[in-house]
Chain A
Amino acid sequence: MSETAGSALIQRMRMARRVADVLVPQEGNVIITAVSTGDVLTGQSDGSPLEADFVMTALDLMLQLSLLVGRDRDALNDSDVLATANALLWANPQSAACVLIADDDLLTSRIVEWGDRAVDTPHSAIISLIPRQGPLRDTVMRYLSTIDLPWPEPSTLMTSHGLAFDQVASHAAISALSERHAGRKSPIPERAQARASLTVADAEWATRLALTVANSEHVDIDAELEAGGRR
């Protein structure tokens, strides 16, 4: 059969399968779904503008994936194709970008954001260092990672900096105590008396508070001041 709607459908089925094989399994919060609820992807009607074959979502980011069945990577920079990709984004304003997928061995893809044209530098507007064109999975996952960052579990100050924090805190508290003692010749008698009353116990108290904060534990400073009679 020559190039007919029928043979294009079979080509589309095979390409859709390759795309699904490349994108599945998904990582993190990424979900990919076929746009059509039909038995197979039939794509756009003759003469209609580009339509999405798959939709990919990561948290609240949505991408429209369009298969350029039977077309090589040159089509990714074709001004007509980019214009229809823009039209697709206008029709789906909730989407951040359209992913055009060429029908080559690598499934070379291009991320098209609002207003992108053929002459644009092929880099993302979100982070300019992210390449917007390349093998499908790589390109899409890198783009998504700018939004859906794989944040590590937050660590405490003590573990993240590898400091001997208890020693540092203790040293800082004793230094502060010494400074207060040195400055006790205040012209205001009450202040001089207060400074003179500071002892090692106060330095230990300050050290304990600093360590509690460094361990990411909550400190009720008002309660602490009331309990120690330091207000």
Chain B
Amino acid sequence: MSVTQQTPDLSGLHACAGKCRCSYDYGVLGIDSSHLFLLARSAAAAAADSSSARWLLDLLRAHACAGQRRLVTSATCLESECFRSFRPVADGGDRPSLSDICSGIEYGEVGSIIKSIPDGASYDLPLKVEVQARVLSFDRGERSLVEVLRDVDGAAIVTNDEDAFDVIKELVETNVISLYPMMSLTLMESMYNCHALTAAQASMVCDQAVASIEPRTSEAKRRRKVRQAEQIVQRIATAEAVQRMNTLIHRSATPSAGRMEL
């Protein structure tokens, strides 16, 4: 998969199309740490160190769908997982924080766009969920986010973790919760279609979703992610080509351009 590196054109962003297909009337979008890390890696890959933080904040603001939805996350996701300096990492691992990836980004900047909701220490939701004969772990971060959004009327949740997505989908289908799950790349494509993201931004996120697949990830999961990213990049490229062609045709056909050039 190749992604054209372009200077991001931020004009006209954050304005969803009239019939928005990226928010689906959901007034609240829950963002988990895997999605935040994906956006941060995309910002870091797209921009120089000094401007990567701005890139990330622009990407995050675009998620608000022209102010139609509130962005929220759980304290566990944002403080413990994304900014590990706020709380020690429970397992003592050496996970990076958003500040490591996007140099200069601060908790307060992210917190000004995404509301962090405190979550309790214990959750009602199961630690393991059986999905089509597979027993999947419901990780603490996603579990805390689902828990804080559980009573919110009309909320969607976005994650870049296939297992988390499958677990949440299973819980929705079995009437345990009523949150609408979305995979990160699906949301990126919807936001591109709504003009909330540029082609370069959406493609960059797709590229990073593939580039940052953990080496230990199963082959099936890797294929699923790569296939989805490739399909989205292809659709975006096609849409861009059609748009350019229409623009050219329009320019050629306008009276001011003189006679139509073939």
Is there an interface contact between A6 and B25, defined as CB atoms closer than 8 Å? yes
Chain A, residues 35-46, CB within 8 Å of chain B (1/0): the string is 001111010011
- B169 interface residue per 8 A CB criterion: yes
Q: Say whether B180 contacts A10, CB under 8 Å.
A: yes
B165: which of A5, A37, A39, A45 is its contact (CB, 8 Å)? A39
State A10–B169 Cα separation when bound (angstroms).
Answer: 10
Residues of A within 8 A of B26 (CB): 6
Contact B153 A1 (CB under 8 A): yes
B19 interface contact, C-beta 8 A: yes
* Interface residues on chain B, size class: 20 to 34
Shortest CB–CB separation between residue A227 and chain B, in angstroms? 63
Residue of A nearest to B166 (CB): A39
Most buried by B among A7, A38, A39, A45: A39
A155 within 8 A of B: no
Complex contacts, A13 vs chain B, CB 8 Å: 169, 172-173, 180
Asked if A14 meets B19 with Cβ closer than 8 Å, knowing A6-B156, A39-B183, the reply is no
B227 — nearest CB in chain A belongs to which residue? A37
Which B residues are CB-close (under 8 A) to A39? 165, 169, 181-183, 186
B104-135 vs A: 1/0 string, CB under 8 Å?
A: 00000000000000000000000000000000
Chain A positions 117-176 with a Cβ under 8 Å from a chain B Cβ: none
Query: B173 and A37: CB pair below 8 A?
Result: no
Q: Please, how many residues of chain A have a CB less than 8 angstroms from a CB on the other chain?
A: 17
Bound: A4/B154 CA distance, A: 9
Across the interface, A6 reaches (CB within 8 A) one of B174, B180, B181, namely B180
B19 touches A45 (CB 8 A): yes
Q: Is B24 an interface position by the 8 A CB rule?
A: yes
Q: Separation in Å of the B166 CB from the closest CB of chain A?
A: 9
Give complex CA distance A7, B172 in Å.
12
Whether A5 pairs with B24 at a CB distance below 8 angstroms is yes
User: Contact: B181 with A14, CB < 8 Å?
Assistant: no
Asked whether A9 is an interface residue with its Cβ less than 8 Å from the other chain, the reply is yes
Q: Is the CB of A40 within 8 A of B169?
A: yes
Given contacts A1-B153, A5-B25, A39-B182, contact A14 B172 (CB under 8 A): yes
Distance between A2 CB and nearest chain B CB, rounded to angstroms: 9
B85 at the interface (CB under 8 A from A): no
Q: Are A14 and B24 in contact (CB under 8 A)?
A: no
With an 8 A cutoff between CB atoms, is B137 at the interface?
no
Q: Which residues of A contact B174 (CB under 8 A)?
A: 17
Partner among B19, B165, B178 whose Cβ is within 8 Å of the Cβ of A10: B178
Contact of A1 among B19, B154, B231 (CB under 8 A): B154
CA–CA, A33 and B153, complex, Å? 32
| B153, B165, B180, B186 pick with most chain A CB within 10 angstroms | B180
Residues of B within 8 A of A45 (CB): 19, 21
**B217 interface residue (CB < 8 Å to A):** no
**Residue numbers in B under 8 Å from A38 (CB-CB):** 186
Contact A7 B173 (CB under 8 A): no
Contacts of A9 in B (CB 8 A): 24, 180
CA gap between A10 and B183 in the complex, in Å: 15
Q: CB distance A40 to B181 under 8 Å?
A: yes
Could you say which residues of chain A place their CB within 8 Å of the CB of B24? 4-6, 9, 42
Cβ contacts under 8 Å, B4 to chain A? none
User: Mask for B163-206, Cβ within 8 A of A = 1, else 0?
Assistant: 00100010011110010111100100000000000000000000
Pairwise interchain contact B175-A14, C-beta atoms closer than 8 A: yes
The digit string for B231-253, where 1 denotes a CB below 8 A from any CB of A, is: 10000000000000000000000
Task: Name the A residues within 8 Å of B173 (CB-CB).
Answer: 13-14, 17
The interface residues of chain B lying within 8 Å CB-to-CB of A17 are 173-174
Query: Once the chains are docked, how many angstroms separate the CA of A6 from the CA of B153?
Result: 10
Bound together, the chains give a CA A14 to CA B180 distance in angstroms of 11
Cβ–Cβ < 8 Å partners of A46 in chain B:
19
Q: Per-residue 0/1 for A180-205: is the Cβ within 8 Å of any B Cβ (1 yes, 0 no)?
A: 00000000000000000000000000
Interface residues of B (CB under 8 A from A): 19, 21, 24-26, 153-154, 156, 165, 169, 172-175, 178, 180-183, 186, 231
Interchain residue pairs with CB less than 8 A apart (12): A1-B153, A5-B25, A6-B24, A6-B25, A6-B26, A6-B154, A7-B154, A7-B178, A9-B24, A10-B180, A37-B231, A39-B186
